[in-house]
Structure 1
């Protein structure tokens, strides 16, 4: 993270070291959907539930500019409906894999580029969610330091998810930071002065720039060079469009206060009249996976899959971010979207996984066989026609790609081939769900079997005479 060398009071909690095969045994890696300076983000499917997830691949090593385990510790600490959720952590010698909720919707930057700018009502609804989430983070001793429209996801209903805490930091009250990071055009004056700064006040400035961009479609400070941009930021001079209400201008002006000591906190900003207008939701965060209120239907479904109920409770109670915790969280998310989780009383066959395993289970002695709940599979099959539409593929290409439940259908499983060991050795390489040759080979195999079955039936019942071989007369020499 971008902070002073001693800004973290203690090291991150230990994460159990697992093999890379453990990742591909639990998740089908599909493609790369995001690329940053220090990490890749891949689209993947959870094999047991069929839910789509994002896998952030962090490369370990002493050459990294920021200690990546700080991001792991931050993600383990946050639990807010407007912040992307961490489901599981898998660590190897070279990488740390963060299994994350796949946020619905698209980036705020893409949305504003399309519509030009947001009307004040919609901007208020979105901005208040962001401020509430960041107030929660500041209360937890977490600063983001990279609040920009690229890191704000918004769905069709206007619900916000803040993503990418890769430049975040853990701070104590009154603590000053000295590392400078983030997008320059969203940078606070303290960055250009190279002064130690209060991380919470830097977030406040970044949100001021973000709000201005939301309601105007432009940035308040522009400059071709670092010096030109810095001089405008330090002067605090920007144009205020006449169509903005006075209450909105008051919020922007307060957040873009050059002197950080006079810049209000986000808690103060929530009291401004502009943000108090209308009903834009509650600021109370929710504990999504409380071990004291476990869903009995989900627990029963996971027991059918092979999980020990004691392991599930232990994982949720201590927030271990392991396989049981991730599976429970994904099933719970599916239940919320489907209006409740119903479990079929008929038992499923043990030892049958709904999606193919990487290799023979004997190769992975540490991986238990799992079975999916029948009700969950029924829900997946009902969405078969909605999966992988042309619109979905276009959205993925435009980074409008995040959906909490994008299940794999049983039909498509025939085409998905799990990479062999020779392919999955490199965790940063994009894995594909299948090739044209594989699909054609499968079709030819089915045709051969169909012909053989037909021939056997004809010969058994003798319904038709056997086809006689044609005799061709030999030519005389």
Structure 2
């Protein structure tokens, strides 16, 4: 295994401290077919990963080697990716991509069942991923909702190939494994079987469970369950569409020789309806055209670029290869974030698409509010101009609040404006009344003062015996 620049460790056996030197173990997040799955993060890049801890024992060594070989062979956007393999004398540590979201089982348990459109989007990703596996000679043999991860945007990741097998065309398998209620009829007959046809049956049970919330075959004992499976005895709800009921019957064909392949399923009319889902391209690392920015960043970390390229060309699944893959994945996620909005957490219906306004009302409100905000900001910037400042505060207030008014209530602003005019008129009237009242009071006081002076003058005239009526005041020059 290649380490940092100038440090190459050869041989399959590494000390256990190598894992702790590269990754920080956080907690246990699951149990695989042959070992625990830990949540950890890569020390150099800070990327979260899943580490499957496999115990090397003679009874388990062959299936572990098979799982490692399967993971090395696959590269599909809907299948979990392998980044690195660290092997010690007692354990094999598989550093895997950490799938976003939750198990499909949890989503169905929360919502009861999925509507057909959403189930179709998830189902087509499962079919394409497993058809890819069959094309390269891989069967899963344990497909169930627990091993299918779905994130908030509806993207699928198939995990746990611990019971998987490498097959060739026409090859028959004899080991019977998997969850009993998902097992194909061949298992109950204890006969050699075609692994690809078993995966097809498992996918049919998964589809039935997605759209109904129940399993098609239920029995209190193994014999009772086996009888129902061998007879193909199950009920399909009538509210499902005709095409959906047809594809379920097609998948759950008891006779494996008549059971369709996944390529046959991909041509079914039910999968052609609407926008059946998204099929992203495989983010395969091209060892002949490496990202110079990532190589430069790894050189700053201490990696030799030649060692990095050799690790990628030879697919050594060592530390340089894992670091390059994690950095490339980080760069891809940053590009996704710049081109797309952050996925919104779903409500009662799990993982709808962001473009569905009925599923994401909060996302729709955000997009409809933005034009109003932009209009408000543009008007606010206009009110800061010198031209608007000359017209006083009343016009500034009306123009700033106008974009917030609902378009279906145009009279509200008029009513507010009319009330303002009425209030101003009332204030003006009250002011004039006050002035008139003060004027009347002043006239009354002047009248009283004049009357008092007149009375005083009368008293003086009486005292001097001068008739009041003949007394008048004349100018000085006239006298």
TM-score normalised per structure 1: 0.67
CA–CA distance in structure 2, aligned partners of residues 186 and 65 of structure 1: 26
Structure 1 segments of 4 or more deviating over 2 A? 14-17, 35-38, 63-67, 278-285
1:50-89 paired onto structure 2 within 5 Å: 50-64=46-60, 67-89=63-85
Work out whether 1:115 is the aligned partner of 2:133. no
1:286 CA drift (Å): 1.4
Residues 275, 228 of structure 1: alpha-carbon distance in 2 compared, 3 angstrom cutoff: same
Q: Is the 8 Å Cα contact of residues 24 and 41 (structure 2) preserved in structure 1?
A: yes
Which of the numbers 253, 267, 271 marks the counterpart of 2:267? 271
What corresponds to 2:18 in structure 1? Answer: 22
Gaps of 5+ in 1: 1-13, 343-390, 392-399, 401-477
1:403-442 paired onto structure 2 within 5 Å: none
1:311 CA drift (Å): 1.2
1:242 CA drift (Å): 1.1
1:63 CA drift (Å): 3.0
What corresponds to 2:454 in structure 1? Answer: none
Q: Is the 8 Å Cα contact of residues 55 and 98 (structure 1) preserved in structure 2?
A: yes
CA–CA distance in structure 1, aligned partners of residues 209 and 11 of structure 2: 39
1:124-135 paired onto structure 2 within 5 Å: 124-135=120-131
CA–CA distance in structure 2, aligned partners of residues 121 and 114 of structure 1: 18
Q: Is the 8 Å Cα contact of residues 212 and 219 (structure 1) preserved in structure 2?
A: yes
Residues 263, 37 of structure 1: alpha-carbon distance in 2 compared, 3 angstrom cutoff: closer
Work out whether 1:292 is the aligned partner of 2:288. yes
What corresponds to 1:331 in structure 2? Answer: 327
What corresponds to 1:191 in structure 2? Answer: 187
TM-score normalised per structure 2: 0.67
1:280 CA drift (Å): 3.4
Gaps of 5+ in 2: 1-9, 339-344, 346-350, 352-479
Q: Describe the SS at the equivalent of 1:259.
A: coil
Q: Is the 8 Å Cα contact of residues 15 and 91 (structure 1) preserved in structure 2?
A: no
216-225 vs 306-315, greater mean Cα deviation: 306-315
1:285 CA drift (Å): 4.6
1:66 CA drift (Å): 5.4
Residues 104, 236 of structure 1: alpha-carbon distance in 2 compared, 3 angstrom cutoff: same
Larger proportion of helix: 2
CA–CA distance in structure 1, aligned partners of residues 122 and 336 of structure 2: 27
Q: Describe the SS at the equivalent of 1:33.
A: strand
What corresponds to 1:9 in structure 2? Answer: none
Work out whether 1:304 is the aligned partner of 2:300. yes
Work out whether 1:181 is the aligned partner of 2:177. yes
Number of aligned pairs?
332
Structure number with larger C-alpha Rg: 2
1:69-111 CA-to-partner distances (Å, cap 9, x unmatched) read: 1100000000000000000000011110000000000000000
1:429-467 CA-to-partner distances (Å, cap 9, x unmatched) read: xxxxxxxxxxxxxxxxxxxxxxxxxxxxxxxxxxxxxxx
Q: Describe the SS at the equivalent of 2:317.
A: coil
CA–CA distance in structure 2, aligned partners of residues 124 and 340 of structure 1: 24
CA–CA distance in structure 2, aligned partners of residues 88 and 280 of structure 1: 34
CA–CA distance in structure 2, aligned partners of residues 319 and 140 of structure 1: 18
What corresponds to 1:142 in structure 2? Answer: 138
Superposed CA RMSD in Å reads 2.1
Which of the numbers 75, 97, 101 marks the counterpart of 2:93? 97
CA–CA distance in structure 2, aligned partners of residues 329 and 171 of structure 1: 28
Q: Describe the SS at the equivalent of 2:134.
A: helix
61-70 vs 140-149, greater mean Cα deviation: 61-70
CA–CA distance in structure 1, aligned partners of residues 167 and 31 of structure 2: 27
